Amino acid sequence: MNIIERAEQGQSFLVADDGQFLGKLSLNQYDSESISNNYGSYGSQYASTSIKNQYSSYGSQYSSLSPYNQYTSTPPIIYLSGRKYGYLTKNKYKSGVTLDPDNLSNWMRSNNLNY
């Protein structure tokens, strides 16, 4: 499923600036596409498409595509219920709505992303 289809279905998810899908924003640890699934492609600390992999393009503190790079101007985009919400980033100077990746789980809880 592509990004447009996910948005049309009202899903909540992350997308890297290069267009790579980075997982559903869901607290469901059994969903294979959830960033909360520690064994999945988007939640594992070993997966190349996970923001939790500190050695991947999407999780390294040195990668321009990573939310953990405090200087990046191209962090992942947050989609909430199919609409662009803001950016997942440690960059305090990024314009627009931003969310620190260390607060993501609490933010998902407050937005009832339990599915």
Mean pLDDT score of the chain: 97
Its pTM stands at 0.95
Question: Quick check: 44 and 52 in contact, CB under 8 A?
Answer: yes
On the question of pLDDT at 115 being above 80, the answer is: no
pLDDT of 106 > 80? The answer is: yes
pLDDT at 90: 98
- The 10s digit of each residue's pLDDT in 18-28 is 999 999 999 99
Q: What is the DSSP letter of 24?
A: E
* pLDDT tens track for 26-82: 999 999 999 999 999 999 999 999 999 999 999 999 999 999 999 999 999 999 999
* Interior angle at CA 49, CA 43 and CA 50, nearest 5: 30
SS3 106: helix
> Which residues make Cβ contacts (< 8 Å) with residue 109, sequence separation at least 6?
27
List pLDDT tens digits, range 80-94.
Answer: 999 999 999 999 999
